[in-house]
Structure 1
């Protein structure tokens, strides 16, 4: 075959190696995982709603490297999903990249996301919830629906490169939580995996939705711009464990299910507001390892149920702005 100038030279292998890759592929290597077959089975249904999955998930998919001298790992359609309940897709009418999530109809997730995506709340700049673009029922499982949202990437990928970037992250994420609580919504799972960002400003030439460090073809490394010069917007996602409280009712919750298992007040018996611990623990822990902004971060961790909620966005930004540690 003719070499593709868009691919690096190491993408090409000898004919013998290509034959070995072909034999391994026929035996199942690089094949669809069982969770990926879920999306292949729903390819036509999603397309009927105007969303096109990547070539790997077409019902008649044939690996693109067969019959070539390409290393499969440099072929876009060898890329497997990492989060099986969510998949990327292209919205046909405008070519935008979206994320599609399957969710059960018997949870509050769709209702809360729809409420927070109302035109009135979306117009509020403090709303850091991704807009819900569309919801439609599944056909193979009528107990589930598909939620369509803009594609986002993890808030700490790429990593922070300057104190000012961390300050902005703290301000936006606390602002988003504060806004949620004003709407009487408890997220209940504000962990690292549930904070994302719209990173389009960092990747003007786009990037692959799963191989995030590579171009759209999944083969060429891409270098992001600095977010200190190209600000991004952060979002809270995943309302599968969330609760919306009617006016006049207590906003404390029960339950032990969440990603952050170090929350000391998780209880099946004693209602407690864990949002401040989770917010403070998130920023004091694994995602932001640099010794920056410790005072406002730890201010989010309560020491008792009667402690006032001091972790306001304004206070965090004020205290954090006084910190000047070196990175």
Structure 2
């Protein structure tokens, strides 16, 4: 099956699949130069070895059954989901890895499509709640024209929304394609500072509008990666360009800052003005907040503060060296007693004070993982030094000054 973790996602040849003993010889184009052409025996072996799906799964079939409906709404799914689809590689001597219709899906409720009006790639999410939630209402509220004008709003923008024609309780929302926020990995200290600033800013915005996210964890933080991947990327084979074959070459986000986006409001709650901020039965993946261990009511907004602090701790502070400036922020955001934990506004004030004391010259320092070997440090350090040299030379030739990341 071709999935986002498949070793074939970004192959230029079969031998490019890493950690795969007994990998096959590189693909050799035929005299017609047809990309992906293979000798017949090799093509057969490829199909047997990697077992590309020639029949849609149950989850995929649900999308196929809505192909015509989505087309009528202005969205065309990939050819794999057209009614009557037959795998393009079955009767041809072609490596399936070169065929876009060999790529299935990442998650059963999310799929990409082309918008007919302009050909842009969009992300369609199928919402089929097991329990009644306000996910769509809250997402649409945070996407209202008035709120999207605020630059502090880091919530995903909903472009379109409609009901399912088959199952009444199912709804669809359409959004911009986003990318996991740490893919590619962070490379410089300034990138972490920018991430922390944007996420606290986004949390403060939501709380200002009385929305507690409830699952403000790694999985629900994405990025608009267009600045570092201006040519785009494949929605499923995310390490490839739009063709699903060519490896992406991302730019450094320290030079091309991205915008981070908060998604998924299925665990969220929107309170009314003056409503007491103490509730129960609230929260998502992160089971660390101490108040979950008690049956007493707790503040849902303070849950967000804790879980976001946990993101800073687990994804950055524990992983990289040289981020000691995060320690105090993490400590207060993860205070065991939620009544002593700062709200989002106080957390932002604390962070801005910390940030003002960080030497701006550290912005371009390479992020060094705590578990790096000596050899890795030498190699990565040399690469970072060379990249910085190129950066400085470009700025000298262009006459531009250095970017100021914070003050």
TM-score using structure 2 length: 0.73
| Equivalence for 2:354 | 319
1:149-164, aligned counterparts within 5 Å?
Answer: 149-164=175-190
Tell me, in whole angstroms, the C-alpha distance in 1 between the residues paired with 2:316 and 2:166: 38
| Equivalence for 2:38 | 13
Considering fraction of residues, name the structure with more strand.
Answer: 1
- Consecutive unaligned residues of structure 1, counting only runs of 5 or more, are none
| Equivalence for 1:46 | 70
Cα separation, partners in 2 of 1:39 and 1:250, compared to 1, 3 Å: same
1:34 and 2:34 correspond: no
TM-superposed deviation, 1:202? 0.9
Tell me, in whole angstroms, the C-alpha distance in 2 between the residues paired with 1:141 and 1:267: 37
Which consecutive segments of 4 or more residues in structure 1 shift more than 3 A? 19-25, 27-31, 320-326
1:303 and 2:297 correspond: no
TM-score using structure 1 length: 0.90
Contact 2:289 2:306 in 1 (8 A): yes
Secondary structure (helix, strand or coil) at the match of 2:310 reads helix
Which residue, out of 91, 99, 106, partners 2:123? 99
TM-superposed deviation, 1:72? 1.0
1:198 and 2:228 correspond: no
1:145 and 2:180 correspond: no
| Equivalence for 1:173 | 199
1:242-321, aligned counterparts within 5 Å?
Answer: 242-255=268-281, 257-266=283-292, 269-273=295-299, 274-286=303-315, 289-291=319-321, 292=323, 293-309=326-342, 312-320=347-355
How many pairs are equivalent?
A: 321
Secondary structure (helix, strand or coil) at the match of 2:172 reads strand
Cα separation, partners in 2 of 1:192 and 1:16, compared to 1, 3 Å: same
| Equivalence for 1:56 | 80
Secondary structure (helix, strand or coil) at the match of 1:134 reads strand
Contact 2:289 2:336 in 1 (8 A): no
Cα separation, partners in 2 of 1:253 and 1:24, compared to 1, 3 Å: same
Instruction: Kindly provide the CA deviation profile for residues 190-241 of structure 1, in whole angstroms up to 9, marking residues without a partner as x.
Output: 1111001100111111111111111111111111011111111111100011
Contact 2:290 2:337 in 1 (8 A): no
Contact 1:254 1:268 in 2 (8 A): no
Cα separation, partners in 2 of 1:297 and 1:308, compared to 1, 3 Å: closer
Is the radius of gyration larger for structure 1 or structure 2? 2
The alignment's C-alpha RMSD in Å is: 2.3
More displaced 10-residue stretch of structure 1: 303-312 or 125-134 = 303-312
Tell me, in whole angstroms, the C-alpha distance in 2 between the residues paired with 1:208 and 1:28: 18
